[in-house]
């Protein structure tokens, strides 16, 4: 296998710098990105260590990745396959396993793990499609596939395949939104960026679930009151047991506030 030509390497380096300005509003100059962005440094170290790995220089590749981890706080196995315009924002604590595959235009935040769930050799790490955003602290585990333009919410634990264009959150992660066909087409034309893998208008799934449970309890409470009334009318006085009101316990999320 051949590595890239010097001209192609230069183009890739320019792309790596340019994508930072597209996804990080804090970036002010090329000099700042080149000298003070550990995520960029880690990607460049990996480009070299991966080339060494493909040529069979396994120890040297691992040693270079070890140096990169020491300098950047980001651990990328030299065997991992990473596409173009890959950006790691903040970066500290990111771990990318040996058989991980990352497509073009992907973004990872600090604390992300692309890990395995088996000690068996072979494919054991996830594959990310193009345009995937993985929020801070998220864990994507096992030889699963994350579809193009998917969003992984912060601190999620993903154990199953994620459809293209979907947003997943939670432990274990579950789909909360899925892009329409029109939105998928728009994303394909231009990278749509959601900071930390979440949209600002996405409802909180935990609050939503608790709200549904509270509504269920309130419905049961209403039925119990009707039964008590029926018993009283039949001359059978029910035992009086005070219950705390539930209205004050109701959680509000973005969806409820908009409604």
Does domain 6-202 correspond to CATH entry 1.20.1250.20?
A: no
pLDDT for residue 1? 46
pLDDT digits (tens, 9 = 90+) for 65-83: 999 999 999 999 999 999 9
The label of the residue with tokens 């140096």 reads 67
- Is the Cβ–Cβ distance between 76 and 65 less than 8 Å? yes
- CA contacts within 13 A on the Cβ side of 149: 19
pLDDT digits (tens, 9 = 90+) for 173-187: 888 766 554 554 454
pLDDT band at residue 105, thresholds of 50, 70 and 90? very high
3-state helix, strand, coil split of the chain in percent (to 5) is 40, 15, 45
Q: Which of 7, 6, 5, 100 is nearest to 46 (CA)?
A: 100
Q: Which of 123, 128, 172, 121 is nearest to 150 (CA)?
A: 128
When pLDDT is averaged across residues 212-217 and rounded to a whole number, the result is 73
pLDDT band at residue 189, thresholds of 50, 70 and 90? very low
pLDDT digits (tens, 9 = 90+) for 129-149: 999 999 999 999 999 999 999
**DSSP of 119-162:** SSSSS-S-EE-TT-EE-TT-EEESS-EE-TT-EE-TT-EE-S-B
Task: Give 178's contacts (C-beta < 8 A, 6+ positions apart).
Answer: 163, 165, 166, 167
Q: Which of 199, 194, 138, 195 is nearest to 171 (CA)?
A: 138
Q: Is the pTM of this model over 0.75?
A: no
pLDDT band at residue 41, thresholds of 50, 70 and 90? very high
pLDDT band at residue 110, thresholds of 50, 70 and 90? very high
* Statement: residue 38 has pLDDT above 70: yes
How far, CA to CA in Å, does 8 sit from each of 3, 51, 207?
10, 13, 49
Domain segments of the chain: what residues?
6-202, 206-258
What is the C-alpha radius of gyration for the chain, rounded to an integer number of angstroms? Answer: 25
* Statement: residue 91 has pLDDT above 80: yes
> What mean pLDDT value characterizes the chain?
82
């Amino acid at each position: 296998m051949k590595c890239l030509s010097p001209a192609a390497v230069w183009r890739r380096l320019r792309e790596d710098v340019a994508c930072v300005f597209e996804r990080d509003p804090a970036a002010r100059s090329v000099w700042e990105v080149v000298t003070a962005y550990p995520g960029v440094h880690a990607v460049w170290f990996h480009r070299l260590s991966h080339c060494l790995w493909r040529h069979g220089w396994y120890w040297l590749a691992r040693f270079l990745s070890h140096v990169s981890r020491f300098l950047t706080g980001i651990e990328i196995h030299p065997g991992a396959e990473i596409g173009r315009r890959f950006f790691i924002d903040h970066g500290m604590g990111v771990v990318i396993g040996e058989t991980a595959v990352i497509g073009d235009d992907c973004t990872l935040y600090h604390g992300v793990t692309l890990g395995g769930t088996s000690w068996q050799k072979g494919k054991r790490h996830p594959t990310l499609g193009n345009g995937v955003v993985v929020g801070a602290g998220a864990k994507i585990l096992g030889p699963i596939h994350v579809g193009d333009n998917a969003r992984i919410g912060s601190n999620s634990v993903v154990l199953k395949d994620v459809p293209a264009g979907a947003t997943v959150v939670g432990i274990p992660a579950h789909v909360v939104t899925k892009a329409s066909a029109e939105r998928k087409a728009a994303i394909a034309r231009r990278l749509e960026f959601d900071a930390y893998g979440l949209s600002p208008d996405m409802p909180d799934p935990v609050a939503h679930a608790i709200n549904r449970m509270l509504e269920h309890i309130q419905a049961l409470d209403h039925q119990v009151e009707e039964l008590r009334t029926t018993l009283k009318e039949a001359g059978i006085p029910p035992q009086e047991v005070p219950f705390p009101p539930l209205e004050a316990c109701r959680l509000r999320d973005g969806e409820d506030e908009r409604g």
